[in-house]
Amino acid sequence: MTSNTLLYYLVFTLLGTFLNIVLAIAIDQLVFKRVGKAMQSIMIIPVFISYAAVQFIVYAYLSTDNGLLNQALHLTTRWYSNAKYWPTILTVVKMWNSVGYGSVLYMSVLSGISSELYEAADIDGASKWQKIWYVTLPELVPMITVMLLLSVGGIMHSDTGLFYQVTRNSGQLYSTTQVIDSYVLNSILKNSNFGFTAAATFFQSIVGTVLILIANAVVRKLHPENALF
Amino acid sequence: MSLQDSIKAARLEREETKKEEKFEMMSSKMKSKGPGQYILLALLLLYTVICALPIILVFVSAFSDEKSISENGFSYFPQKWSMAGFNAVLRYGKQLATSYGVTIFITVTGTLIGLLFMSMFAYALSRKDFRLRGFLSIYLMIPMLFSGGQLASYIIFTSQYHLKDSLLLLILPLCVSTMNVIILRTYIQSSVPEELMEAARIDGAGEWRTFFQITFPLMKPSMAAVGFMMATAYWNDWQNALLYIDTDAKKPLQLLLINIQKSIEFLLNARNIPSSALTAMQGSVPQYSATMATVVTVIGPIMIVYPFFQKYFVKGLTVGSVKG
């Protein structure tokens, strides 16, 4: 349960941040602004769809008898009872859901970069990649630092909907999909085991607090201006 | 110069520099339309299609005939189209309308209240001469650093505040968040010129007036971003509803979706005894298409409204960038 929570946190945060930035820079670099904007609108839409609805979409793809995937590839895989597939499935669903939206925040930073910086780089004869590496990315660093710092506090927390709804809360998948948050939710709804649950949430909070304090101290040492406090 | 004049002048100046920047960016970016741009465009298009495909599947299956789903599975090209799914949704009709009302109410109310409180909080924190600044900063940080967690909130909300089955529990828990206040505060500190606020103060404006007439309007881009995030959180919140809401009249859309999933699973489970009855029922109860039709009615309107909202948040977020 704890290791699931930590692993999903790591994968989602690292992959998510990376994809957010790549997408933001890609759209920002695109000359066809009108098309870029339209595409961005479509990319953001998944975030409007709650996991309660996403769950039905995933089911349409993965249902054993009627799922698009099994039908199209002539498989008979029982996705909902095989725990080993779920780390990949959940990662794909999470990225589909959040990357377009996550990039908006970085886009807002990118659009705030003064054009003088790029002009100066042009005068110095910088190539496109050099401009991204030496001008764009450093401007994004404060935002990235803050976002990572904030997320560290939630290291023991997960996107509950993803783990509770998308897996249909299926007991057979718990070995790879049960995270602390979904365990807590289950025990509240079933009104059971409050003692252990309380201990689990306390553990979540303590670890989060300690980690965010450490992370902030590290950032403070390296780049004092990016620290939270 | 009066207060109004100085504000106007400052705004004009900002707009002019913005226009100049736009023009410069346009001219510098218009130069390059090489093959790289087309590769980039193709890649982004590919990703856009990947993002859209699952949503398209929902729409297609909502209009598919039940039989073609149960025999050939979900498909982008169903053998037969049908409206049966939507007809079945009409059975939920009344509850669907109620749930819409609840969701829209909590989204709008929550976002407005939250934005008002958080922007005022952020303004107070951004003022260096504010005496309680240090204390309030720490106070703000505590919930982010250490929270009681789900179980503690559940117990407090239900047995201390006695708010079970109350709409307040759908609004208050998501209303003010540390991260959003920090975003707003950072925006004020970095993008709202301090001289402007000082000028207003010298011209005799009180704190309220300075905030509402100068800082507040200049905060629009960050407010759009934060408001957008909040509205999304409210719209998508199913967890508080699942934990606290029992009455049908107070069920938001997301809880309705969860209930529908459960009732369909119940139908499926109840049916595994006589196989002949199973096939007979599959013909008459359009469960797959009906479910998808419900999902469409839940997410469809957002997609209709979304382009209008998008104007506010993306434009607000991309201040200074090229207009489309």
The DSSP result for B143-169, as a single string, is: HHH---HHHHHHHIIIIIS--TT-THH
Chain B residue at shortest CA distance from A214: B145
User: Which structural domain, as residue segments, surrounds residue A90?
Assistant: 2-226
Binned at pLDDT 50, 70 and 90, residue B32 comes out as low
Binned at pLDDT 50, 70 and 90, residue B231 comes out as confident
Taking the model in full, what pTM does it have? 0.78
Instruction: Using the Cα atoms of residue A160, residue B99, residue B52 and residue B226 in order, give the sign of their dihedral.
Output: negative
**Which is nearest to B292 in space by CA: A40, A93, A164, A63?**
A63
pLDDT for B319: 36
Residue B73 to residue B70: CA distance in whole angstroms: 6
User: Of the candidates A39, A46, A107, which has its C-beta nearest B317's C-beta?
Assistant: A107
B148 touching A (Cβ < 8 Å): yes
Coil, strand or helix: which one is B189? Answer: helix
Residue B144 to residue A209: CA distance in whole angstroms: 8
Q: From chain B, pick out residues whose CB is under 8 angstroms from the CB of A101.
A: 232
pLDDT for A30: 87
Count of domains forming chain A: 1
Q: For residues A201-222, give the mean pLDDT.
A: 87
The alpha carbon of residue A225 and the mean position of all alpha carbons in its chain are separated, in whole angstroms, by 25
Q: What is the DSSP letter of A133?
A: I
Shortest distance, CA A209 to any CA of chain B (angstroms): 5
Domain covering B91-317 assigned CATH 1.10.3720.10 in the classification: yes
B110-138 pLDDT, tens digit each: 999 999 999 999 999 988 888 899 899 88
Q: Using CB atoms and an 8 Å cut-off, which of residues 158-187 of chain B contact chain A?
A: 179, 182, 186
> Six-digit token pair at A220?
């403070």
Domain spans in chain B, listed from the N-terminal domain onward? 1-28, 91-317
User: Of the candidates B40, B69, B323, which has its C-beta nearest A26's C-beta?
Assistant: B40
Shortest distance, CA A86 to any CA of chain B (angstroms): 18
Chain A residue at shortest CA distance from B243: A189
CB A53 within 8 A of CB B295: yes
Residue B188 to residue B182: CA distance in whole angstroms: 10
CATH number for the domain spanning A125: value is 1.10.3720.10
Which residue type is seen at A214? I
